[in-house]
Structure 1
Amino acid sequence: MACKNRARVYLGYEDEFVTEKHRSLVNFATNKIGGKPDFPINENSLSSPACRLCGLNQLLALQLYAPLESSRYHRTLYIFTCINPNCWNQHDSWTCLRVQFLEEKSIMTTETAPVSTPPTTSWLSGADDWGDEGNDNSSEQNGNNMNDSTKLSLLMNTGDTDEELTEDLSNMRVDDPNANSPASVESPVGGGAVGRLDSPQASAEIEGEESEVVCIDTPTQPQCNLVDLLQEVTHNPFQHHDPNAPVNLTFTEVFMWVEEEDLSVEVSQHERDLAREYQMHLPESAGAEEVRGMDTNPEAYEKSIPKHGDEMFHHFKCRIQKNPGQLIRYCRDNSSALLLTPLSSSGFCRHCGGERIFEVQVLPTIIPKLKLSPSIDRNFQLEFGTVLVFTCSRSCWSPSDAFKEEHVVVQAERL
């Protein structure tokens, strides 16, 4: 049965791309997909959170300006996600940060944002240090060469003639197989025993009847470590080899526009004709009763169980199809969330202990919109069923807070 006082649900849709001509207009009050988070001026020291599962920096998926009525605070939600495939469909792979500040404080835009550039002297000093190291190595190498030449000159000045030196060199053998072996008693000149290359291998023969003899084949050594294969995880193509020089990845920055959800059902002329024809073939009494009993509520949906048996997914899909193109749903009402699996309760705020309330739902229709920039993998796509963000019903905040982390629930796609 539909609720009479239905809470208003606002839907977010894709708008135009954010370009340089829009840069001066983008700030914390902008609703957008991807890009860098636009924090208020008093929170410009915040950085993107790290994934609790793999440690990689999460990317901004959504920035939503969501002020509350009868509140003196500006309020923005920043929703981040991890791009590591090993973390998909898990709660900790998503993070929602809530940032608030009083309306009296100034608004930061990218034009007024301070730009810090490293001083050129730091590069020059680093280059000088590298040059000193190179000089030290070269001088050390030159010193070693000089020592070798000195040894050679001393050898040449020992008084030996060229003939004696040639004779001594001719007696040296570099291919002696026992050159490094200790001298034996039988051979005082040097060298121990030398193994024959064609010597037979050690073998053993078991005596007994054929029925009592068990043949054991020599096991072959495995070509791979099966334990490592079982523990192996999916290779992450975005893992940075040098953690000090990460790739500056973001999702493509796109504006969002918002409108209220429309659940009104538009009936075409063809559908009216079918309904009229259907009523003509019914008895008059039955047709009148059925017409009177028809539910004209726009939120009414088919009560029959779908063939796949998943009523929650059926309702989820039908509700989204009424407003095609929606990417997110916004409503501070627990009954407005479209679930794929049941939830026990929304829980309590981790900061103040107050009740949590549903606020934002990220739909899987946003997955094709989350494109990496720069595009290092054209086939990259996130994987999730839906993402639910539950925030503090009191929106607790104190002047000393930099941000508040909210609760995120990720539900996987039903197969």
Structure 2
Amino acid sequence: MASPAHELTLVGLCDAEIDSQRHRSSFRTNKVGGLPDWPPGVFQKSPRCGRCGVPLAHVVQVYCPLEASPYHRNLHLFACTRAACSGRSDCWKVLRSQCLEGEEERRTSCGPPPAQEAPRSASEWCDTADDWGMEEKGVKEATDVSSRLQVLRLVDSDPQDVPVLRAFFINVVEEADLCGEEDELQHARRLLREYERREGVAVGGPEGGEDGGGGGEKYEKTRARHGDAVFSRFMKKISLCPQQILRYCRGGKPLFVSEPHGDAVAPPCGSCGGARTFELQLMPALEAQLEFGTVLVYTCRSSCWKSGPGPGPAVEEFCSVQPDPDQHLFK
């Protein structure tokens, strides 16, 4: 785990579409859409919308084992696809599931072989992974894919009328690597200058880091036309990679799109009563049907889990949805 002084942020990019004829995903796959892949020993019905009661669509699956833990670990995010619901926190659900290492092998030794995945198309979101499945060429290819695809189009429904979204692999890159090449910096500068001209706000350049060149956080002291300095900071932070669909930094700080309110405070874990910590957030580039600014996910700090002899349910965690104050700027 990265220390608080040097938080490691991973950025998720939409990669190739999952072809059911060539690929079969498993709980180790990071993906957008499709049906959830539960690890061995976990049984979970599709959650329902807290507002309208319809079954929720599976939006994102992340494989995120923790360092020095004996468990495989997954997070699944679900959302209501109705226009009136997708921007509300009570219309989203996040479920955490775990299984002991070796449980997969024990169960599959008595059954069919495990599902096959496309090599290097899915990455582990854990602290000890050596290869994030993303070379420089891969970054650009994933970026191109995400910019031209409408990711969240409904493609089918199962017999229980659960909406199913088109499935895509998620590829991963460390955020720090996004500013390693001069052409990336030049692109970021152009984006920032365009944003400054459009909004009448000076947010500084990416080459100066968080404070835009050592003069303090100047963007915090300026006001865009919409009057939201928090949103200005959000735009600056993602300008190096506007196509990012997910940010992962367990124990780090979320990137707010607007000033957080009381409903963004994570309550204690409903399973063990312990404190929760921020783990990941979905970004506005993901939405093609769902409308939101960002979806913040907080999970049990101790990642509590009760193993049993039979199938058990996943643990519900906490998510908070912030609407986009200027939706048109992401179009």
**If the length of structure 1 is used for normalisation, what is the TM-score?**
0.54
1:318 matched residue in structure 2: 236
Q: Name the residue aligned to 1:288.
A: none
Asked if the contact 2:234–2:255 (Cα under 8 Å) also holds between the matched residues in 1, the reply is no
Q: 1:20 to 1:307 in 2, by over 3 A?
A: closer
CA positional deviation for 1:99: 0.4
RMSD, matched Cα: 3.0
Contact 2:276-2:298 at 8 Å conserved across structures: yes
Rounded Cα–Cα distance in structure 1 between residues aligned with 2:223 and 2:286: 26
After TM superposition, give the deviation of residue 342 of structure 1 in Å. 2.0
Q: Is the 8 A contact 1:341 1:411 kept in 2?
A: no
Give the direction of change, closer, same or farther, for the CA distance of 1:249–1:348 in structure 2 (3 Å limit): closer
Q: Deviations over 1:76-122 (max 9, x none)?
A: 001000112232321111000100010011258996489xxxxxxxx
Q: 2:77 is matched with which residue?
A: 79
Instruction: Quote the offset at 1:300 in angstroms.
Output: 2.1
1:305 to 213, 218, 222: 222
**Which digits, 9 at most, give the CA deviation of each residue in 1:50-80, with x for residues without a partner?**
1121111101000000000010000000100
Is structure 2 residue 286 aligned with structure 1 residue 366?
A: yes
Task: Tell me the residue number matched to 2:253.
Answer: 335
SS in structure 2 at match of 1:87: coil
AA aligned opposite 2:98: Q
Counterpart residue type for residue 323 of structure 2: A
Structure 1 residues 336 and 388, CA, compared in 2 at 3 Å: closer, same or farther?
A: closer
- How far residue 5 of structure 1 moved from its aligned partner, in angstroms, is 2.2
- Seen in structure 2, the aligned counterparts of structure 1 residues 93 and 111 have a Cα distance that, compared at 3 Å, is farther
2:168 corresponds to which of 237, 246, 254: 254
User: Structure 1 248/412 Cα, relative in aligned 2: closer, same or farther at 3 Å?
Assistant: closer
Q: Taking structure 1 as reference, are residues 54 and 112 closer, same or farther at Cα in structure 2, changes over 3 Å only? A: farther
* Greater Rg by CA: 1
Q: Give the secondary structure class of the aligned counterpart of 2:23.
A: helix
5+ residue gaps in structure 2? 116-153, 190-204, 213-217, 327-331
Task: Give how far 1:333 is off.
Answer: 2.4
**What does the per-residue CA deviation read over 1:95-152, in whole Å, with 9 as the maximum and x for residues that have no partner?**
00100010011258996489xxxxxxxxxxxxxxxxxxxxxxxxxxxxxxxxxxxxxx
SS at match of 1:30: coil
- Aligned residue number for residue 106 of structure 1: 104
- Name the counterpart of 1:390: 298
**DSSP 3-state at the match of 2:96:** strand
> What's the TM-score, normalizing by structure 2?
0.67
Deviations 1:151-190 (A, max 9, x none): xxxxxxxxxxxxxxxxxxxxxxxxxxxxxxxxxxxxxxxx
2:37 is aligned to: 38
Match of 2:8 in 1: 8
- Counterpart secondary structure, 2:41: helix
Say which SS state the counterpart of residue 313 (structure 1) adopts: helix
2:48 to 47, 50, 55: 50
After TM superposition, give the deviation of residue 323 of structure 1 in Å.
Answer: 1.9
Identical counterparts, % of pairs: 34
Measure, in 2, the Cα distance between the counterparts of 1:22 and 1:31: 17
- What does residue 29 of structure 1 align with? 28
Q: Residues of 2 paired with 1:306 and 1:322: CA distance?
A: 21
- The question of whether the paired residues in 2 share the 8 Å contact of 1:7 and 1:336 is answered with no
1:4 CA drift (Å):
8.8
List gaps (5 residues or longer) in structure 1. Answer: 115-237, 239-243, 272-293, 369-380
Report 1:71-220 matches (<5 A).
Answer: 71-106=69-104, 112=113
Amino acid at match of 1:65: Y
- The aligned counterpart of 1:357 is 277
| Contact residue 74 and residue 101 of structure 1 kept, 8 A | yes
Alpha-carbon contact 2:56-2:163 (below 8 Å) kept: no
Opposite residue 397 of structure 1, the aligned amino acid is: W
Q: What is the 5 A alignment of 1:203-282? A: 246-247=160-161, 249-262=163-176, 264=179, 266=182
Instruction: Measure the CA separation in 2 of the matches of 1:296 and 1:52.
Output: 44
Amino acid at match of 2:38: F
Change (3 A) 1:32 1:74: same
Letter matched to residue 361 of structure 1: Q
Q: 1:289-322 CA distances to partner (integer Å, 9 max, x unpaired)?
A: xxxxx99752223434133221000001111111
Q: Distance in 1 between matches of 2:100 and 2:290?
A: 36
